[in-house]
Each structure stands twice: as structure tokens, then as C-alpha cells.
Structure 1
Amino acid sequence: MERPLLNDGNQYPTDIILASVLGNSMEVYQAFVSNLSKYQIDLEWHYYNDSKSWLGKAVSKKRTVFWLSIWQGFFKVSFHFAGKTHLDIMNLPIAVDIKREIENAPIKGKLVSVAIKVSDKAHLDDIYTLMSYRQSCK
């Protein structure tokens, strides 16, 4: 099973380290992270022993909005929604391929998860839409 990069718990993910892994996607990452303040979201980096990697936890008013992981040449933004929100998500103005992924995602417990690979700006608007929706969920 593949796992995200940034596996050294002693090496905090600085911009230099992120740029070395993300490559051309670093500009997209920086644009994405700089827009988080517009949504009142803070990105907190933590090393997690269960995944043996650094993950970004995006928090708004003490609520986790999404998780961010770093991969070679791209980053993933992962959302976890309550299963009962499935129909609401399908009505959001997001790309059909993301809707298809959500529709086909297995429900684990009571959660539906979707991870969006980001290497260019094409899906950023969809991610912002999902972020806003996630923030509105109770």
C-alpha cells in the first residue's frame, strides 16, 4: 500500500522540503495554502505514528475540515463526510469525476471519504466548494 512522503518525524515540512518533493506543484500548493485564511482555516502540521508521515490537519473553529498529505509531484486533500450528507454533496457544483469518486467510495462506519490529487489548479475551485460545505456541516 502506498503511503505519503515526509516520513522522517524529526524533519518538519518546511517550504524547502515541500518544494523538493512537490516540484512543479509547489506553486499550486502555495496558492492553495495562502487561500485558506479566506475560509478561516488553519493548517497544522503533525507527525502521525499510525501513518508514519507528516500530515496537514486543516482546522476551522476546532473542527477538522480536511487532511493534507504530500506525495511525489502532488498533494492530496482528503475529506471525510457523514454518510447522510452523500446526496447533498452530489448536488454541489463540483467536477463530475469527483462526484463519481464520492459515489463509488465505500462507506466506512458512518463516513464517506474522498481524496483529491492536486498537481495543478484545475480542482482548486472544487476543493474550496467542498471545504465550504464541510464547514457548514453540523
Structure 2
Amino acid sequence: METVNDVELRDETIFPDDHVLSAMLGDSFSAYQELLKLFDDNQLNYGWRFYHDVNMWLCKVQKKEKTIVWMSAKQGYAQATIYFPEKHIDQIYTLNISEERKDLIRNTKNTGKSKPCIFEVRSADVLTDFNEVMQFKIRAK
């Protein structure tokens, strides 16, 4: 039986299709599919591409030309990250998201002048907070 691990998402020749992602994500594959439906419901475009600068497959999610989410696949879960510039960071903490999520965001180190809001999509439970942050990113100028 073929095994899939996150080393394969570093192989440019292996496209992360549903077969590869289902094997890698395991039980969280259904939450990943719900996440894609959330993107579709918001008229977001997404696609997997191999990025040579990080030597791995990433899924870029966009609204028109604006990047909303970067997604990667890890063993057992999908990781969805939304980056905000410094000028929006304080507004993140006013969103209707759990205090636990706010603490996770606060405790995440900035990437340059941006704050990454990282969501481990292991189950659909995380999608309520994710959607709230994503909607703010879509609206933010």
C-alpha cells in the first residue's frame, strides 16, 4: 500500500490531488472539503502550485487579484494561514472569534510586518472562527 507523508508535498512531480490529500489528511479530509466549499461560497479562486522558493506545494486562495489565504497540507491536517499587515492587527482582536483563537493569534510571531493567523483544519469546528477572520481579510483595504 502506498504511504503518503509530507515529504511528497515537496516533490514537484506529485500533484496534491484528492487521492494524495485524502491519504495525507486522513480523517481531516472532510473538513478540508468543507473549507473548499467555504471558498466556493465566497467566490474565491484557489489552486495548488509548486513554489520553488519554499520547495513545496501550496494552495493560494484569492478574491480577484487579492490573496486571502495560503494553505498547505500536513500529516493529518490542512493548515490555512491568513496574513494581515500591521495596520489591521488590532482589529483582528475585535472580531467575533473565540478567546482561545485570539490568544493563538497574539502568540504567533510576526512574519516581517505581517501577522499570520494560522488555522489547523483538523475538523469543521475551526471553520467558524476561520470564516470570521477570512471575511475580515476580504473586506480589509
Could you tell me the TM-score, scaled by structure 2's length? Answer: 0.90
**1:8-66: CA deviation from partner (whole Å, max 9, x where unpaired):** 10111110010010011111111110221111111111101122111000010110001
Q: Give the percent of matched residue pairs that are identical in Structure 1 and Structure 2.
A: 28
Are 1:71 and 2:71 an aligned pair?
A: no
- Mapping of residues 26-105 of structure 1, within 5 Å: 26-105=29-108
How many correspondences in the alignment? 136
Over 3 Å counting, the alpha-carbon distance change for 1:71 and 1:108 in structure 2 is closer
Q: Could you tell me how far apart the structure 1 residues matched to 2:113 and 2:30 are? A: 35
What is the deviation of 1:4? 7.5
SS at structure 2 position matched to 1:107: coil
1:90-131 Cα shifts (integer Å, max 9, x gaps): 010112122112222333332111211110111101111111
- Which ranges of structure 1 fall in alignment gaps of 5 or more residues? none
CA distance in 2: counterparts of 1:5 and 1:75, whole angstroms: 15
Residue equivalent to 1:134: 137
**Alpha-carbon distance, 1:75 to partner:** 0.7
Alignment partner of 1:67: what SS?
A: strand
Distance (Å, rounded) in 2 between the aligned partners of 1:61 and 1:4:
31
SS in 2 for 1:6: helix
Measured in 1, the distance between the counterparts of 2:8 and 2:88 equals 31
Moved over 4 A (4+): none
Check if 1:25 corresponds to 2:45: no
Cα 1:5–1:64 shift into 2, 3 Å: farther
- Is this contact kept in 1: 2:105–2:116, CA < 8 A? yes
Gaps of 5+ in 2: 1-5
**Alignment root-mean-square deviation, CA:** 1.5
TM-score, normalised relative to structure 1: 0.92
Looking at structure 1, the residues matched to 115 and 48 of structure 2 have their Cα atoms a distance apart, in angstroms, of 23
Output the CA distance in 1 between the equivalents of 2:12 and 2:117.
26
Indicate if the aligned counterparts of 2:59 and 2:71 stay in contact, CA closer than 8 A: yes
TM-aligned CA deviation for residue 70 of structure 1? 0.1
2-side partners of 1:41 and 1:100: how far apart?
28
Q: Which amino acid aligns with 1:51?
A: V
